[in-house]
Structure 1
């Protein structure tokens, strides 16, 4: 009979590092998701405002015209 099954499962030497980096990337992903959701909410809020076809025109400053 082959005795392959009796060996303990292989555990890579850097298993702790793999777990650590996986946790870090998960944290980063969650942060990215939160930021994206905040951006979406802000965009929705901005889009709910009335949109004018062009911004109101500013009058030229009378003090600057004489220079």
Structure 2
């Protein structure tokens, strides 16, 4: 996967989470509407399975992160 595709996928998930009013506190903790929860899980999966390995691979090559 190229970096532009990864960036687009991360950006799309971020926008689903960024300003959503679906999050609210309740007596049991935090309540999220289903789409916000799914977006969070997808973002976590993408981060763990693709973003972090790509960053680790770049670090092994000596490429800067910034």
**Would you tell me which structure has more helix in proportion to its own residues?**
2
**Would you tell me which structure has more strand in proportion to its own residues?**
2
Bigger radius of gyration among the two: 1
For normalisation by structure 1, the TM-score amounts to: 0.34
Q: Which has the higher relative contact order, 1 or 2, with Cα contacts under 8 A spaced 6 or more apart?
A: 2
For normalisation by structure 2, the TM-score amounts to: 0.34
